[in-house]
């Protein structure tokens, strides 16, 4: 593997508090402080004038659908979409078929990652057997098999007692719990946010309280057991305030927002386009602004995509019957830059931190930094380039994106994993 030399980039490394124009060097798959004169002559040089070089992006909430749902996505196609979006490390959810509740299924996923993935992918295991919320999965066996967290993702554990026991085991095995916060009894038949828009459209509403109740429950259980609970895709303004107050007490919780919840509201559903249907649903402008405020003050720790591929024929149904979920990996950086940096005046380095160091810390990944000796995982992007996103021509196997056909600003040019270029100039190179 040749050494790499990225020259004249704006290097932003929040972990090292570095933000300067300079050169970045890689050798033997690691970041190095410099190259010898002889090595510089042999190195592959990338002129990054006008570009930003940052740690490879990290997404800890991705659905890759393999095994069992490979008509939607595979580990290979999901990894390619991630690379095109600047992501070098992603964490995949266990709601596959079969679900990832045994060591054997985890091994199957890891084998497929080793064979087909062009980036680093880390598996999670289920909290409960079959993701049915009735009995705990073998959490110790899952940890030994290599999971980095446990979650029932879209099937939030409804039993408070069972969740308490899961917290106790998770703490014992030093695993974070990721929880999709939804009281199912309040969302039966619901397909969008409950409010004036749902009333106007004649669609069954999904109240904020369905999320807020579980967020509060998890804060209580985290405080009671000492377990680390990570709250997925927060969408409610009330949940943000619950998290803010819990963190002030020192409760061991973290939380994420998604690019779509900071960019869109339930008003986008006016045409009944199912590419705007997701779980949790798009909410009001007040909710959107409070999520952004939560990211600004640290109440919400990170951005994550909740990349959820579905086929065209699954999404092309009456709104009530179409599945929830949208793509996110290829558009996350551009959408986040637009909403947070341009519209809300966040510092660019802070937004990069939300997508690199912080998510890596939550699940203890060796990622998210450009320090000498770290893995040479790098994202090189043009923050100003405008481009039209064509979801049907993207790298995912599916195309269910609300940003299809839209002009975005900020484009990934090169993605490097362990010192190897895996994406460049619009093509996968591995």
Q: Which domains are seen in the chain, by residue range?
A: 4-52+375-392+408-428 (2.30.40.10), 56-362 (3.20.20.140)
Cβ-in-10-Å burial (0-12, 13-18, 19+) of 297 comes to exposed
Helix or strand (DSSP H, E) at 143? helix 139-145
Tell me the C-alpha distance between 108 and 127, whole Å. 18
Tell me the C-alpha distance between 246 and 265, whole Å. 26
Active site residue 273: no
Of 213, 238, 352, 254, give the one whose Cα is nearest residue 293: 238
Mean pLDDT of 196-218: 98
The 3-state DSSP composition of the chain as helix, strand, coil percent (nearest 5) reads: 35, 25, 40
pLDDT at 430: 78
Mean pLDDT of 353-370: 98
Helix or strand (DSSP H, E) at 409? strand 407-417
Maximum C-alpha span of the chain? 70
Q: How far is CA 319 from CA 109, 191, 272, in A?
A: 32, 8, 6
pLDDT at 2: 86
Mean pLDDT of 9-37: 97
Q: For residue 362, name the pLDDT band (cuts at 50, 70, 90).
A: very high
Task: Give the mean pLDDT of the chain.
Answer: 97
Each residue's pLDDT tens digit, 106-151 = 999 999 999 999 999 999 999 999 999 999 999 999 999 999 999 9
Q: How far is CA 137 from CA 42, 93, 205, in A?
A: 51, 15, 32
Each residue's pLDDT tens digit, 294-309 = 999 999 999 999 999 9
Q: How far is CA 313 from CA 6, 75, 123, 278, 319, in A?
A: 43, 21, 28, 16, 13
Q: Residue 161, Cα to own-chain centre: how many angstroms?
A: 28
DSSP 33-95: S---HHHHHHSEEEE-TT-EEEEPEEEEEE---TTT-TTT--HHHHHHHHHHTTEEEEEE-S-
User: Does 1 score more than 90 pLDDT?
Assistant: no
How long, in residues, is the chain?
430
Spot the catalytic one: 13, 101, 212, 306.
306
* Percent of the chain's residues with pLDDT above 90: 99
DSSP 123-142: E-B-SBGGGSSSSB--HHHH
User: Is 415 strand, coil or helix?
Assistant: strand
Tell me the C-alpha distance between 92 and 63, whole Å. 5
Each residue's pLDDT tens digit, 321-346 = 999 999 999 999 999 999 999 999 99
Mean pLDDT of 399-409: 98
Tell me the C-alpha distance between 255 and 241, whole Å. 12
User: Does 82 score more than 90 pLDDT?
Assistant: yes
User: Does 78 score more than 90 pLDDT?
Assistant: yes
């Amino acid at each position: 593997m040749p050494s790499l030399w990225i020259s004249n980039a704006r290097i932003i490394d929040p972990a090292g508090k570095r933000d300067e124009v300079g050169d970045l060097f890689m050798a033997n798959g690691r970041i190095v402080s410099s190259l010898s004169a002889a090595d510089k002559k042999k190195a592959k040089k990338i002129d990054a004038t006008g570009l930003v070089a940052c740690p490879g992006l990290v997404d800890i909430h991705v659905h890759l659908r393999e095994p069992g749902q490979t008509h939607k996505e595979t580990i290979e196609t999901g990894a390619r979409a991630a690379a095109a979006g600047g992501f070098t490390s992603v964490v995949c959810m266990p709601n596959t078929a079969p679900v990832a509740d045994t060591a054997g299924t985890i091994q199957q996923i890891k084998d497929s990652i080793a064979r087909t993935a062009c980036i680093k992918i880390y598996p999670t295991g289920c909290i409960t057997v079959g993701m049915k919320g009735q009995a705990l999965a073998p959490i110790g066996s899952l940890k030994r098999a290599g999971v980095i967290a446990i979650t029932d993702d879209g099937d939030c554990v409804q039993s408070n007692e069972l969740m308490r026991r899961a917290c106790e085991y998770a703490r014992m095995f030093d695993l974070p719990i990721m929880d999709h916060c939804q009281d199912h009894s309040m969302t039966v038949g619901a397909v969008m946010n409950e409010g004036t828009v749902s009333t106007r459209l004649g669609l069954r509403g999904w109240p904020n309280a369905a999320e807020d109740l579980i967020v509060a429950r998890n804060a209580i259980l985290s405080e009671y057991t000492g377990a680390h609970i990570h709250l997925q895709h927060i969408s409610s303004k009330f949940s943000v305030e619950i998290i803010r107050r819990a963190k002030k007490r020192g409760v061991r919780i973290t939380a994420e927002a998604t690019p779509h919840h900071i960019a869109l509201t339930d008003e986008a559903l006016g045409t009944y386009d199912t590419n705007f249907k997701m779980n949790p649903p798009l909410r009001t402008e007040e909710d959107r602004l409070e999520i952004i405020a939560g990211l600004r003050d640290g109440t919400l720790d990170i951005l994550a995509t909740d990349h959820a591929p579905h086929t065209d024929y699954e999404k092309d149904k009456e709104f009530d019957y179409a599945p929830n979920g949208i793509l996110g990996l290829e558009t996350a950086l551009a959408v986040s830059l637009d909403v947070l940096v341009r519209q809300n005046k966040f510092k660019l380095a802070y937004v990069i931190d939300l997508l690199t160091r912080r998510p890596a810390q939550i699940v203890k990944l060796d990622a998210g930094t450009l320090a000498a000796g770290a893995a040479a995982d790098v994202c090189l992007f043009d923050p100003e380039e405008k481009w039209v996103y064509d979801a049907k021509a993207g790298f995912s196997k599916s195309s269910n994106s609300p940003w299809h056909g839209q002009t975005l600003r900020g484009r990934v040019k090169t993605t490097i994993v362990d010192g190897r270029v895996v994406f460049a100039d619009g093509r996968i190179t591995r």
